[in-house]
Structure 1
Amino acid sequence: MNNLPVKRNWFLAALAFFLSLAVVLLLNSTPLASAPGAVASSPSLRSLIGNRPFYLAAAVKEQPLLSDPMYGQVLAREFNTIMPENDFKFENLHPDRDKYDFSTTDRLVTFARTNGMHVRGHTLVWFHALPRWLLEGNFSREELMAILEDHVKTVVRHYRGQVYAWDVVNEPLNADGSYRDTLWLRSIGPEYIDLAFRWAHEADPEALLFLNDYGEGMSAKSDNLYSLLQDLVSRKVPIDGIGFQMHVGFLSSDNPPEVAENMKRIGELGLEVAFTETDIPIAKLPGKTEAEKLAQQARLYGEFLQICLDAPNCHTFGMWGFTDRYSWIKNFKGTPDAPLIFDVDYRPKPAHQAMVEVLQKWR
């Protein structure tokens, strides 16, 4: 189950898909002249990936796609994969026990298909973003298992063949590596993790299935995550890999060599590592001036992309957005912190150029 080249027809299908995008990629290889301050000589990240089976992903929101034309233009030009930031979460897709609402996610999937992009699904099972009817329902263990099974299978089946990978379980562990106290853990027990993966696999045997969490360097938490992965693999739970969130400086590692070391031992289990939510706020980075901090940010983006490209078990580099204009950090922390690779006016930052340079050397 965990030997990716043998496991499924996914790799060949993905390769064929990427080859079919040649015309789209040629169209996307020209500079984005309409972006204020765009560097005319800088190629797009997507054009540098070309038809190779590597997923460069950005978390997306529907609202700016509807209201801000530049958002969709830059997104489709620079990335070959989208991850709906919030719209796949339980409370948005499953607002009532007997009601599902796929209207928003269907539109996002259509946007991806129209622009020759892949879709990564985030997330099926999480302790947060749960609807009130579920939290206040006073359901028995058997009822909650039935609700969760129905949710996982209904969502995955709806997008069978359209979503290439799912973050099945998100953040099951605390910062210290213990199991997080959640509705699912309290009511079902730790086996909710196994069940979610098995149900997702039943619903779409071709989709790649990931556990997603922070704690990417070498630490007590990463040791416990590794032990959890070992256990899942040993019991033949259908898991394909782990997503490293990579909110650098906010519960995530800022040490690329440590992350690479952790990736190596996970690869020895036969599992993929995907960078899923990368962003790098500048507030706590070394430097006295904004320019110095942006240079440090660029260095880290380049180094993390490089270790993914160098690892045989890493084929996804995802960011939690792409423009500082719509970063979640501004709402979450109250300060912008400029964490992404385009500024609020869609001008490419030094981090974008660092990624360009890494991809230009990629062989």
Structure 2
Amino acid sequence: MRSLRTGLSLASLLAGAALVCTAPAAHAADPPLRDLAAAKGKVVGTAVTGSKLTGTYGDLAGAQFSSLTPGNAMKWGSVEPTRGGFDWTEADKIVAFAQAHGQQVRGHTLVWHSQNPSWLTNGSWTPAQLGSLLQNHISTEVGRYKGKIAAWDVVNEPFNDDGTYRADLWYDGLGSGYIANALTWAHAADPDAKLYINDYNVEGVDAKSTALYNLVKSLKQQGVPIDGVGLQAHLILGQVPSTLQQNIQRFADLGVDVAITELDVRMALPADSGKLAQQAADFRSVVAACVAVTRCVNLTVWGFADSDSWVPSTFPGYGAATPYDENYAPKPAYRGIAEALGGTTTTPPPPTGACTAAYSVSSQWDSGFTGQVRISCSGASLASWKVSWTYGAGQRVTQAWNATCAQSGAAVSCSNASYNGAVPDGGSVTFGFNASWSGGNPVPTVTLG
């Protein structure tokens, strides 16, 4: 999910839950990825949606990964949809799950040009007012999770691809000094959390990564608390930069840690055996570059299953970008990661006997959004289906297709149309809907029965 890279304007919000007939998660012949990574002195993570952390999804997230990143739940628009009004529900679920499974949490993100609430972006603020709002937001959020977050992506995507600063709410209103201030305020709220600047298209040595390098060098010289850089690594099949390891090393040589924070490798659909083999090689190459540099400390995939990926809704015609397919079966990419972490070539078997429902938002505007639910089965089948969820911010379904939907208060219930009730083993069906929203659009918990 870039929403799970995440941004409502860019990608889908995802949620889902397993049917009652869930089965155990896949069991690899190798140790799980988290154990392989630990043996190399690394942390391996995934972005998640808190409301999905049940069933097979939850089993895999808990067993395979040693770090969780909230895909959307800690962004400004999610946690402070109204000025001074905070909603921690989804973020708290992820933190609690991580604590129960012995995992770190990577906070994402405190300052970003996207996915901000309308009250903030539409306001007319003096520099003093805007700075005060930013300080209060950082202090409140970081302070709430003090001692529970290993690292924060404090500032996200501050640069254009040519290395100039991005013109956005923060730069236009506060100048480049907002970056040092944000880091300083975050450190004051939790001195033990590692603080990062995170960006995309900075994986190889180029103008943008050099601008980030120069910024980090300057911040270090000024004594600003900066502990690391995040290289998002949203990559295209066959295009891993040849200078990736060199770039990781030059940041490490500045005395900061490096994390691969949002790794996925998208391909033109449909996937085939050749593309999947290349994708495995790409994942292997990225992980190996990190393993080779001591201060590359974390490797996080941006959603571990294709059903959770932001790619299809953002890059039409592209997808299959993650290590697991839509039915939670491990792909060759999983094997590529495991091999780079010292594992063997044995791919774990897919889970069996599971049907799942995945909720996504494909587009959103000021007063409404279009959503979709995909019902998928692997090792099981359905003759009919019904899904339900409860909205948390007053959203209202106004129209549905390929299903019959009804809403009573906040509760929504949708059942199959006469022609799409059957879901075969290995198959899926989808239905869509339009809905209204205002103030916020948090992800609901979806149940399938």
Normalised TM-score (structure 1): 0.84
1:111-150 map, 5 Å: 111-150=97-136
Looking at structure 2, the residues matched to 65 and 145 of structure 1 have their Cα atoms a distance apart, in angstroms, of 36
Aligned partners of 2:305 and 2:322 also within 8 Å = yes
Q: Which has the higher contact order (CA 8 A, sep 6+)?
A: 2
For residue 309 of structure 1, the aligned residue among 287, 291, 313 is 291
| 1:39, distance to aligned residue in structure 2 (A) | 6.9
Cα deviation digits, residues 249-297 of structure 1 (max 9, x gap) = 29xx93354011111111111011100000001229xxx9710111110
For residue 234 of structure 1, the aligned residue among 204, 209, 221 is 221
Aligned partners of 1:246 and 1:276 also within 8 Å = yes
Q: 1:167 corresponds to which letter in structure 2?
A: D
For residue 280 of structure 1, the aligned residue among 262, 265, 268 is 265
For the pair 1:318 / 2:306, whether they are aligned, the reply is no
User: Residue 48 of structure 1 corresponds to which residue in structure 2?
Assistant: 36
Aligned partners of 2:40 and 2:341 also within 8 Å = no
User: Residue 61 of structure 1 corresponds to which residue in structure 2?
Assistant: 49
Aligned partners of 2:154 and 2:182 also within 8 Å = yes
Aligned partners of 1:173 and 1:179 also within 8 Å = yes
RMSD: 2.1
Q: 1:144 corresponds to which letter in structure 2?
A: L
| 1:331, distance to aligned residue in structure 2 (A) | 2.2
Cα deviation digits, residues 317-341 of structure 1 (max 9, x gap) = 0110100011111222234510000
Identity of aligned residues (%): 39
SS at match of 1:242: strand
Bigger Cα Rg: 2
User: Residue 207 of structure 2 corresponds to which residue in structure 1?
Assistant: 220
Aligned partners of 1:282 and 1:337 also within 8 Å = yes
SS at match of 1:273: strand
Cα deviation digits, residues 237-257 of structure 1 (max 9, x gap) = 10011000000129xx93354
Structure 2: gaps of 5 or more residues? 1-21, 345-449
Looking at structure 1, the residues matched to 162 and 241 of structure 2 have their Cα atoms a distance apart, in angstroms, of 21
Distance 1:335 1:112, change over 3 A: farther
1:1-363 map, 5 Å: 34-35=24-25, 38=26, 41-50=29-38, 53-65=41-53, 69-214=55-200, 215-249=202-236, 254-283=239-268, 290-335=272-317, 337-360=319-342
SS at match of 1:318: strand
Looking at structure 1, the residues matched to 285 and 181 of structure 2 have their Cα atoms a distance apart, in angstroms, of 36
Distance 1:318 1:223, change over 3 A: same
| 1:42, distance to aligned residue in structure 2 (A) | 4.3
Distance 1:186 1:344, change over 3 A: same
Cα deviation digits, residues 107-148 of structure 1 (max 9, x gap) = 110011111111000100000011111112211111111000
| 1:305, distance to aligned residue in structure 2 (A) | 0.6
Looking at structure 1, the residues matched to 50 and 62 of structure 2 have their Cα atoms a distance apart, in angstroms, of 14
Distance 1:347 1:234, change over 3 A: same
